Amino acid sequence: MGDNENLVEDISGKIKTGEIQPWKAESVLLEEYEASAPEHFRTAALSRRKCIEELSGFKFNYLELPEKPYLMQWRCPKDNSIWHLEARDTDTVCTNCSSALEPFGTDVDRFRPLVNNYIGGREEYYSYAGQVKVFGDIDKTFTNLLAYGPGFGSIGISVGCFRINKLGGAEVKVGKWAGAARNLGYVFECEEEREKAVAVAKEFLPVLRKEMEEKYLAEFNGGIYEVEFVRRQHHGQFYIYICFYTRFEHARGHGDTSSAVGYARGRMDAEFTEKGVAYIQSLIAMGFDGDLKQSPRNRRGRYVSAQVKVPIPAYEKMSKTGIDKLLSYMEIDRQGVMQEQGGFVYSGMGGEIIPALYRGTKVNPRPYNVSCTENVYVEIKGEDVIFGVELPNLEVGATSNREGPICPTAREVLKFIGIGTSKEFAAAAAAITLAGEFNFALLHLRGEMYVGK
Ligand SMILES: [Zn+2]
């Protein structure tokens, strides 16, 4: 390939021992090795890849590293706007005013990294975001490969991971089951008819549940753990929601649950007709089951939490401030979120970190973040401060199946990270989110976030 193998060997070795921070590889190559731009971007990415291969024991087969992995700067001669385009991009027209862009900068400083800590990928730019050790329900060290995008997020996660590892790692708790839900809706003309329907449905339920489980849920050891009846009214129409809640130990179960409830609708309609219950309409009423809607009451997904324990004096040293400042930092955000959104739910940094993992691994659900919420919590226990995040409804299935096939690149990324099961995915998601939040909280407390220059 002509890539400077000795250089890659040298830099990757120093990244591995911690002598070079992975995100500094580019500047070290320019400043200390007299490498030339823009070739140094590829050398730096190769060095990080080699380091990751050695840490994990796997080889990259699918995650491609392009020949020219960097951005080029362009300038519009008419409005002076500066543009960053990937080097292979030949569409060099200003999207402000349609003028032809001109090269901007000298031969050395015209180039910019695709993303921080870039390691490969064409459609998604993957970053290396350090390793994080977890213990508790999962014992493992994850090697984080994320499609975070531009910005410093992947560096923040790396730094957070480094801190958490030094503190002994993150303790994780992972829910035994992943939940799914699908809802049947019926519309009636009067309340009497609705009550009759509820009585018939409840009597029919044991038979129906068994059929649904055997026909649709048994394949992945799923079961129905709850059926909820809720009455609502709109003007002169009377509704019932009959919501079926299912759970699976190793699958997502969303598609199977939908099929089972579709089947249940046909069976229930027939039962109502046979028992003389007159309904105006029967339907799968998805508004109630929370399908793909971000909400603290979301009925889908798996609970996972990750927390780190820090002696209070150590935290005060790290944050360069008193522990009370951490508590009021948490409270001002908690009130902000509660008053603005109506629930104690954060999706701030997590709203970027969780999609970075979903995008990188392509694990279902396809819309990356919609059904997952995040809580950040801080507790004082004796001499220690506990800093944690919980993801109450993180959705993930098996890491490639009928419900969500995954491309080979993403499967390879999963393997490198160390994720083989949906529980490991959950643990990694929580630990990576914790690392990001932990580091960001420290930066906020030190007054180092979004500092104007
Ligand atoms: Zn322009």
Instruction: Output the CA 84–ligand 1 centroid distance in Å.
Output: 13
Residue 217 DSSP code: I
Say how many C-beta atoms besides its own lie within 10 A of residue 434's C-beta: 31
pLDDT at 258: 95
pTM of the model: 0.93
Instruction: Output the CA 71–ligand 1 centroid distance in Å.
Output: 19
User: Residues 330-342: pLDDT tens digits?
Assistant: 999 888 888 887 7
Name residue, tokens 């909400």.
Answer: 295
Instruction: Output the CA 72–ligand 1 centroid distance in Å.
Output: 16
Mean pLDDT of the 283-296 span: 81
Strands (E), 27-159: 71-75, 82-86, 102-103, 111-112, 118-120, 126-136, 140-146
Instruction: Output the CA 99–ligand 1 centroid distance in Å.
Output: 5
User: Residues 26-47: pLDDT tens digits?
Assistant: 999 999 999 999 999 999 999 9
Calculate ∠ Cα 144-149-150, nearest 5°.
120
Mean pLDDT of the 98-117 span: 93
CATH numbers and ranges of domains, the chain? 5-121 (no CATH), 166-176+302-445 (3.90.770.10), 178-289 (3.30.70.420)
Check whether 1 has a pLDDT greater than 50: no
Mean pLDDT of the 79-99 span: 96
- Dist. CA 41–CA 320, nearest whole Å: 35
Instruction: Output the CA 86–ligand 1 centroid distance in Å.
Output: 18
Residue 64: alpha-carbon gap to chain centroid: 22
Instruction: Output the CA 70–ligand 1 centroid distance in Å.
Output: 22
Instruction: Output the CA 105–ligand 1 centroid distance in Å.
Output: 17
Mean pLDDT of the 11-38 span: 94
3-state helix, strand, coil in the chain (%, to 5): 40, 25, 35
- Dist. CA 34–CA 378, nearest whole Å: 46
| Residues of the chain above pLDDT 90, percent | 78
Mean pLDDT of the 314-327 span: 96
Nearest by Cα to 409 from 71, 21, 8, 126: 126
pLDDT at 369: 66
Say how many C-beta atoms besides its own lie within 10 A of residue 410's C-beta: 24
Instruction: Output the CA 80–ligand 1 centroid distance in Å.
Output: 7
- Dist. CA 448–CA 453, nearest whole Å: 11
Q: Cα-Cα-Cα-Cα dihedral of 8, 10, 11, 16, to 10°?
A: 110
Instruction: Output the CA 75–ligand 1 centroid distance in Å.
Output: 8
Instruction: Output the CA 93–ligand 1 centroid distance in Å.
Output: 8
- Dist. CA 66–CA 351, nearest whole Å: 29
Check whether 374 has a pLDDT greater than 90: no
Say whether the peptide bond before residue 365 is cis (omega within 30 degrees of 0).
yes
Evaluate whether 252 touches 396 at the Cβ level (below 8 Å).
Answer: yes
Check whether 351 has a pLDDT greater than 80: yes
Which of these ranges, 143-147, 254-258, 266-270, has the smallest mean pLDDT?
254-258
Confidence of residue 343 (pLDDT cuts 50, 70, 90): low
Instruction: Output the CA 101–ligand 1 centroid distance in Å.
Output: 7
Instruction: Output the CA 79–ligand 1 centroid distance in Å.
Output: 5
Mean pLDDT of the 355-370 span: 80
Instruction: Output the CA 103–ligand 1 centroid distance in Å.
Output: 13
Q: Is residue 315 within a helix (H) or strand (E), and if so which, with residue range? A: helix 312-319
Residue 112 DSSP code: E
Check whether 272 has a pLDDT greater than 60: yes
Sequence-distant (6+) residues with CB within 8 A of 184 are 241, 242, 243, 244, 261, 264, 265, 268, 282, 283, 284, 285
**pLDDT, mean over the chain:** 92
Confidence of residue 365 (pLDDT cuts 50, 70, 90): low
Inter-helix orientation angle 312-319/422-445, to 10°: 60
Confidence of residue 222 (pLDDT cuts 50, 70, 90): very high
pLDDT at 99: 97
Instruction: Output the CA 69–ligand 1 centroid distance in Å.
Output: 25
- Dist. CA 415–CA 413, nearest whole Å: 5
Instruction: Output the CA 112–ligand 1 centroid distance in Å.
Output: 20
| Residues of the chain above pLDDT 70, percent | 95
Say whether the peptide bond before residue 69 is cis (omega within 30 degrees of 0).
no
Sequence-distant (6+) residues with CB within 8 A of 29 are 7, 11, 35, 40, 43, 44
Instruction: Output the CA 452–ligand 1 centroid distance in Å.
Output: 27
Evaluate whether 163 touches 130 at the Cβ level (below 8 Å).
Answer: no
Instruction: Output the CA 108–ligand 1 centroid distance in Å.
Output: 24
DSSP secondary structure of 336-396: HHHHHHSSS-B-SSHHHHHHHHHHHH-PSPSSSSTT--BEEEEEEETTEEEEEEEEEEE--
Instruction: Output the CA 68–ligand 1 centroid distance in Å.
Output: 25
Instruction: Output the CA 87–ligand 1 centroid distance in Å.
Output: 19
- Dist. CA 206–CA 209, nearest whole Å: 5
| Edge-first strand listing for the sheet containing 237-248 | 223-234, 237-248, 178-188, 281-284
Sequence-distant (6+) residues with CB within 8 A of 202 are 229
pLDDT at 334: 85
- Dist. CA 262–CA 235, nearest whole Å: 27
Instruction: Output the CA 450–ligand 1 centroid distance in Å.
Output: 28
pLDDT at 372: 78
> Backbone dihedral region of 400: left (phi > 0), alpha (psi from -120 to 50 degrees) or beta?
left
Evaluate whether 130 touches 144 at the Cβ level (below 8 Å).
Answer: yes
User: Residues 159-217: pLDDT tens digits?
Assistant: 999 999 999 999 999 999 999 999 999 999 999 999 999 999 999 999 999 999 999 99
pLDDT at 342: 72
pLDDT at 38: 94
Instruction: Output the CA 94–ligand 1 centroid distance in Å.
Output: 5
Mean pLDDT of the 272-284 span: 97
The first and second tokens of residue 250, run together, are: 């190793």
Instruction: Output the CA 77–ligand 1 centroid distance in Å.
Output: 7
Confidence of residue 347 (pLDDT cuts 50, 70, 90): low
The first and second tokens of residue 126, run together, are: 């993957």
Q: Is residue 170 within a helix (H) or strand (E), and if so which, with residue range? A: strand 170-174
Instruction: Output the CA 82–ligand 1 centroid distance in Å.
Output: 9
Residue 68 DSSP code: S
pLDDT at 108: 76
